[in-house]
Amino acid sequence: MGPTGTKVTNNRRVASLAVAGFAAVAAAFLLPGCSSDSAFPAVHDMPAARTETKLTPDQIKQATDDLISQRDKTEANAQSNAQPATTGSIPPKKSAASAQPAAQQSSSGINAYAKQ
């Protein structure tokens, strides 16, 4: 065999190396897509239907009233447990809510929302 025989062998070797390199690069791009423990759900995976039902308006009102009652009790306990200042003669400042007239207080805050 002459010089043409080695030329064909070299071309085949280069072609096979190119195919092997292409296969390695393709595998490197495709393998991460096959991961089964992905941090995100698949595009069309939908969560299961909810088993709980929505609250009725009466249940919402009852829950709101319970929260208001608990808040009032907590505020009353905090005020009764507060120690008066004994070091000065300056009375404590009133909060912004207590400085408002009673008509404005009833129309603001959660009480107005609960009355709706």
Q: Which of 85 and 57 is assigned the larger pLDDT?
A: 57
Domain spans of the chain?
Answer: 3-33
DSSP H helices, 1-116, are 3-30, 57-81, 96-99, 102-106, 109-115
Taking CA atoms, 97 is separated from 78, 92, 101, 107, 113, in Å, by: 16, 14, 9, 12, 16
Per-residue confidence at 59, pLDDT binned at 50, 70, 90?
very high
Query: Which amino acid, residue 48?
Result: A
One DSSP character per residue, 48-61 reads PPP-SPPPPHHHHH
Predicted confidence at residue 72, as pLDDT, reads: 96
- pTM of the prediction? 0.32
- For 104, the 3-state DSSP assignment is helix
